[in-house]
Amino acid sequence: MLSLKSVDLRKVKAETLAIPVCEDRDIHDDKIITSLITRAKKLEEFKGDSGEEVVFYNPPELKAERIILMGLGKLEKLNAESLRAFAGKAVKKCINMKLPEVLIVLPSAKKIKMEMPLPLEAIIEGACLGNHIFDKYKEEKKHIPLEKIDFLVTPDVAKSAGKILKSVTTICEGTIFARDLINTPSNDKKPEQFTKIIADIAEKENLKIKIFDEKELKQNKFGALLAVAAGSPSKPRMIILEYNPKGAKKTVALVGKGVTFDSGGINLKPTGSLDEMKSDMSGAAAVAATLIALAKLKPKIRVVGVIPVVENMLSGDATRPGDIVRSYSGKTVEILNTDAEGRLILIDAISYVVEKYKPETLIDIATLTGSCVVALGEKIAGVFSSDNKLAQSIVSSGEKTYERCWHMPLPDDYKEDLKSDFADLKNIAGSKWGGAITGALFLAEFVGDTKWAHIDIAGPSYQKKGSDYCGVGGTGFGVRLFCDLLEKL
Ligand code: BES
Ligand code: MN
Ligand code: ZN
């Protein structure tokens, strides 16, 4: 339970207070808090430097059992992300101390030179996301999420910001839903199961749902998607979720790569981090979670989410390198590498949604290439679009949410490299360089005139180590980004 509180700390008993502290400046309005911090700073071990923490008990000034002061460093370095990190770390610390609740004290917006509700949003996000633990598969639950997180704000904010608390938590719950899906092992999210998990929740939220099963995919000639699914005994699906509010003028389509496990197929991936290929459905998770969040947030825009779901395995029935398939669009593709499977399922989903829904804007999100991780590292997504304005909107939503995105090029002349000797296209480029770009160019062949962007999240969708407000595993990257972006489109 998250709630906004405005109480007098002298009178009200709070078990645990978490307070952000700047090294060089006072950032609080309440004199009591300021005097507390001044006293603590007299200690050798706490100056408010970034990463410093100090806990003390039963301070004489307050009716609190324990106070956690957390250093944020110099004021000039303070921003929304450092507030998210502060709140996430505060929550994690309380969880580790086996506490059931915390009251997080907000700094004065004026003193940190941020405009409300920005700091409030950031602190709610960090706290909410930091309170997530994926322990479904552990018999012994060592850490228990906090039952109650309160945010101490001024009375005017407490009165007016209820809406913000609700929308931010809805979006964060979406991120958490996506994380849980990504962390779920592939043996528990085969395409049929994965589809059911999403459909059950979507139904509850009154989204319109259409599911293509294998038979319908065959009848409708989703040849590229079916080629990827061929090697697995688990049959493919395609999910279409639609959020269509009254009065919506625009339609945006979101397409998410849903490979529930990517072995590489006959081009089998080497041993190393094959287990992480359970996360190859992170794009799908982001799209599903975004639609579920939209159903609660109710913005005035029609959004169609298309999620092709397959498992990329190898068997006697698997697609072979050199095989030629006819995609939904009619174009033929020579499959030269069965590990370049994401683009194959995406082109059929893209062609379908362009044909049936004629969206103004189409954005696909996919763990598409290792090459994008080579280019941008593990924390930044690549954005590919010939529409500079759309790309810029995505990049700026990335800055706002700290789901960082970088605009990458789509050079026309690189297309040459995707021409096949025997079919219309081949699914990998001749050159081993620039794989993120040629992957995007391959998709571009199927969008027609639709305004389109592709987001490659192979890097930021998954992390091997926990960070300030996200544990090991799926990050849920894309949900906060999309929710911010869709408001602007
Ligand atoms: N799912 C992978 C991409 C990936 C790599 C995601 C690392 C997350 C972390 C994708 O299907 C893939 O295998 N791509 C190939 C493409 C190549 C064969 C053109 C790659 O990146 O090596
Ligand atoms: Mn692959
Ligand atoms: Zn893949």
The CA 355 to ligand 1 mean position distance, Å, reads 28
Question: Hey, what are 119's tokens?
Answer: 């700091």
Q: Average pLDDT of the chain?
A: 97
What's the rounded Cα separation, in Å, for the pair 348 and 284? 15
Mean pLDDT of 88-99: 98
Per-residue pLDDT at 325 exceeds 90: yes
Q: Which part of the chain has CATH 3.40.630.10?
A: 176-485
Per the annotation, the verdict on 343 as an active-site residue is yes
Per-residue pLDDT at 96 exceeds 90: yes
Per-residue pLDDT at 184 exceeds 90: yes
Buried b (16+ CB within 10 A) or exposed e, 187-218: eebbbbbbbebbbebbeeeebebebbebeebe
Per-residue pLDDT at 11 exceeds 90: no
Among the listed residues 111, 196, 235, 269, the single catalytic one is: 269
Q: Atom 7 in ligand 1: which residue has the minimum CA distance?
A: 370
Dihedral angle computed from the Cα positions of residues 180, 351, 303 and 119, in that order, rounded to the nearest 10 degrees: 60
Residue 327 carries which side chain, given as an amino acid letter?
Answer: S
Cβ atoms of 302 and 353 within 8 Å: the answer is no
**Which fold would CATH assign to domain 2-157?**
Leucine Aminopeptidase, subunit E; domain 1 (3.40.220)
pTM greater than the 0.95 cutoff: yes
The pLDDT tens digits for 219-238 are 999 999 999 999 999 999 99
Q: Atom 13 in ligand 1: which residue has the minimum CA distance?
A: 339
- Look at 35-39, 315-319, 360-364 and tell me which has the smallest mean pLDDT: 35-39
- Nearest ligand to the CA of 308 is 3
The CA 441 to ligand 3 mean position distance, Å, reads 17
Task: Ligand 1 pocket test: pick from 339, 341, 373 the residue with the most ligand atoms within 8 Å of its Cβ.
Answer: 339
Per the annotation, the verdict on 269 as an active-site residue is yes
Number of the ligand 1 atom closest to the C-alpha atom of 369: 21
Predicted confidence at residue 432, as pLDDT, reads 96
Pairing of strands 323-326, 332-335: antiparallel
Name residues with Cβ closer than 5 Å to ligand 3, which is an ion: 259, 262, 280, 342
Q: Which part of the chain has CATH 3.40.220.10?
A: 2-157
Helix (H) or strand (E) holding 292: helix 282-297
Number of the ligand 1 atom closest to the C-alpha atom of 428: 19
Predicted confidence at residue 20, as pLDDT, reads 98
The pLDDT tens digits for 453-488 are 999 999 999 999 999 999 999 999 999 999 999 999
Predicted confidence at residue 299, as pLDDT, reads 98
**What single-letter DSSP state applies at residue 276?**
G
Predicted confidence at residue 61, as pLDDT, reads 84
The pLDDT tens digits for 41-61 are 998 889 999 999 999 999 988
Buried b (16+ CB within 10 A) or exposed e, 54-79: beeeebeebebebbbbbbbbebeebb
Band (142; pLDDT cuts 50, 70, 90):
very high
Number of the ligand 1 atom closest to the C-alpha atom of 461: 8
Nearest residue to 384 via CA among 427, 445, 429, 440: 440
The pLDDT tens digits for 242-283 are 999 999 999 999 999 999 999 999 999 999 989 999 999 999
* Candidates 3.30.499.10, 3.90.79.10, 3.40.50.450, 3.40.630.10; CATH matching 176-485: 3.40.630.10
Mean pLDDT of 122-130: 98
Mean pLDDT of 179-203: 98
Predicted confidence at residue 13, as pLDDT, reads 87
The CA 280 to ligand 2 mean position distance, Å, reads 8
What's the rounded Cα separation, in Å, for the pair 333 and 157? 57
What's the rounded Cα separation, in Å, for the pair 68 and 107? 14
Predicted confidence at residue 343, as pLDDT, reads 99
Predicted confidence at residue 249, as pLDDT, reads 94
Among the listed residues 343, 404, 426, 480, the single catalytic one is: 343
The CA 258 to ligand 3 mean position distance, Å, reads 9
The CA 203 to ligand 3 mean position distance, Å, reads 28
Q: Atom 3 in ligand 1: which residue has the minimum CA distance?
A: 369
Q: CA distances (Å), 222 to each of 96, 214, 264, 340, 440, in order?
A: 49, 10, 20, 17, 20
Residue 409 makes CB contacts below 8 A (sequence gap 6+) with 384, 437
Predicted confidence at residue 146, as pLDDT, reads 98
